[in-house]
């Protein structure tokens, strides 16, 4: 089997998961997995994986990720324990890399803190949000980050400021290196409105997301990044008449053309072929090269 090396190396340490159950697209075959609950467990795991020449990837909530239907040969590291926790000290939010982003946003609203309400409907983790510089409605995580604690694969710890993170539109330095985000510190603000106002704002954002995006179907969010000084990808794709276009079980969403839905039984190959077709049609018609926002499991782009 594709995951035999990891399982055979230490069957007590690793177990098999189906990646389809850990990704929002609902696509993916078997892989070896381990859940780490502390920095010590993570450091020991990385040492073990290096000693046995095993490839690995940290997987959060599985949004923005396309896992291979045939399975993956490396080890998927899942975060639990202290990595899933978050806490507030006044207007300072400290979160483990695996902390649930919508829960953090909702808790901030309940405390009367502004700045993170835009993230109330974004599926993902604190670490994933920093990794992608997640954003919506004119706001992004980069505006809030004050410090990021990272672990390098060789075992060293580094503390980065927001400026050190190399944030750009839906990008950060973490997309091109192997460091793991352990902890994120964000600074929020006490808003002029009441807590009820913030919660109302959060409900409005969730309603807008339900109206605008295909939340009824398995998807991975926006497929393509917005081009520099160009129209939104959804408009470019819709103008090509591709809404509803299918490739196997994958379909360009009729609700929003920059989303690809799993209509049932879609494979990773279906999705990639559809992505390539859409990008080619847009490039041929406009000269604009669309760049993927979604990533294949373990891939750097």
Answer yes or no: 293 catalytic: yes
Answer yes or no: 199 catalytic: no
* pLDDT given at position 259: 98
User: What is the pairing mode between strands 65-66 and 92-96?
Assistant: unpaired
- Reply yes or no on domain 4-79 having CATH 3.30.43.10: yes
Fold (CATH) for 214-296:
3.90.78
Task: Supply the DSSP symbol for 280.
Answer: H
* pLDDT given at position 119: 95
| Alpha carbon distance 86, 103 (integer Å) | 9
* pLDDT given at position 49: 93
Q: By CB neighbour count within 10 A (0-12 exposed, 13-18 middle, 19+ buried), where does 291 fall? A: middle
Q: By CB neighbour count within 10 A (0-12 exposed, 13-18 middle, 19+ buried), where does 57 fall? A: middle
Catalytic residue among 33, 170, 226, 268: 170
* pLDDT given at position 4: 76
CATH of 82-210, one of 3.30.465.10, 3.30.830.10, 1.10.287.3240, 3.40.190.10: 3.30.465.10
Q: List, in order, residues 6 or more apart from 26 with CB less than 8 Å away.
A: 20, 218, 262
| Alpha carbon distance 76, 34 (integer Å) | 6
Structural contact between residues 23 and 220, judged by C-beta atoms closer than 8 angstroms: yes
Q: List, in order, residues 6 or more apart from 114 with CB less than 8 Å away.
A: 108, 188, 189, 190, 191, 193, 198
Catalytic residue among 33, 105, 172, 222: 222
* pLDDT given at position 301: 58
pLDDT tens digits in sequence order for the chain, 301 residues long: 677 777 888 888 899 999 999 999 999 999 999 999 999 999 999 999 999 999 999 999 999 999 999 999 999 999 999 999 999 999 999 999 999 999 999 999 999 999 999 999 999 999 999 999 999 888 999 999 999 999 998 899 999 999 999 999 999 999 988 899 999 999 999 977 788 899 999 999 999 999 999 999 999 999 999 998 789 999 999 999 999 999 999 999 999 999 999 999 999 999 999 999 999 999 999 999 999 999 999 886 5
DSSP secondary structure string for all residues of 35-72: EE-SHHHHHHHHHHHHHTT--EEE-SS-TTEE--TT--
User: Which residue reads 């410090």 in tokens?
Assistant: 147
Q: Locate the domains of the chain by residue range.
A: 4-79, 82-210, 214-296
Answer yes or no: 222 catalytic: yes
Listed residue (107, 106, 87, 86) closest to 96, CA to CA: 86
| Alpha carbon distance 68, 28 (integer Å) | 5
Listed residue (58, 69, 67) closest to 96, CA to CA: 58
């Amino acid at each position: 089997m594709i995951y035999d090396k990891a399982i055979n190396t230490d069957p007590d340490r690793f177990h098999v998961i189906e990646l389809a159950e850990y990704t929002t697209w609902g696509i993916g075959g078997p892989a070896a997995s381990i859940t780490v609950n502390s920095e010590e467990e993570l450091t020991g795991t990385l040492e073990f994986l290096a000693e046995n020449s095993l490839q690995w990837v940290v997987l959060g909530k599985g949004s923005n990720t396309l896992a291979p239907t045939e399975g993956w040969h490396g080890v998927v590291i899942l975060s639990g324990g202290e990595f899933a926790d978050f806490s507030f000290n006044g207007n300072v939010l400290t979160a483990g890399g695996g902390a649930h982003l919508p829960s953090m946003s909702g808790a901030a609203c309940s405390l009367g803190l502004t700045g993170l309400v835009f993230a109330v409907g974004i599926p993902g983790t604190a670490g994933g949000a920093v990794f992608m510089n997640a954003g919506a409605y004119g706001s992004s995580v980069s505006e809030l980050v004050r410090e990021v604690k990272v672990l390098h694969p060789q075992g060293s710890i580094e503390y980065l400021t927001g400026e050190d993170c190399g944030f750009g539109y839906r990008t950060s330095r973490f997309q091109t290196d192997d460091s793991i985000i352990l902890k994120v510190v964000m600074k929020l603000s006490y808003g002029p409105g009441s807590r009820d106002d913030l919660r109302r704002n959060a409900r409005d954002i969730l309603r807008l997301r339900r109206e605008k995006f295909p939340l009824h179907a398995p998807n991975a969010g926006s497929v393509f990044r917005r081009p520099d000084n160009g129209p939104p990808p959804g408009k470019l794709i819709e103008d090509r008449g591709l809404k509803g276009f299918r490739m196997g079980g994958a379909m360009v969403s009729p609700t929003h053309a920059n989303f690809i839905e799993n209509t049932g039984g879609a494979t990773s190959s279906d999705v990639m072929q559809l992505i390539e077709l859409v990008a080619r049609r847009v490039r041929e018609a406009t000269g604009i090269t669309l760049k993927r926002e979604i990533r294949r499991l373990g891939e750097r782009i």
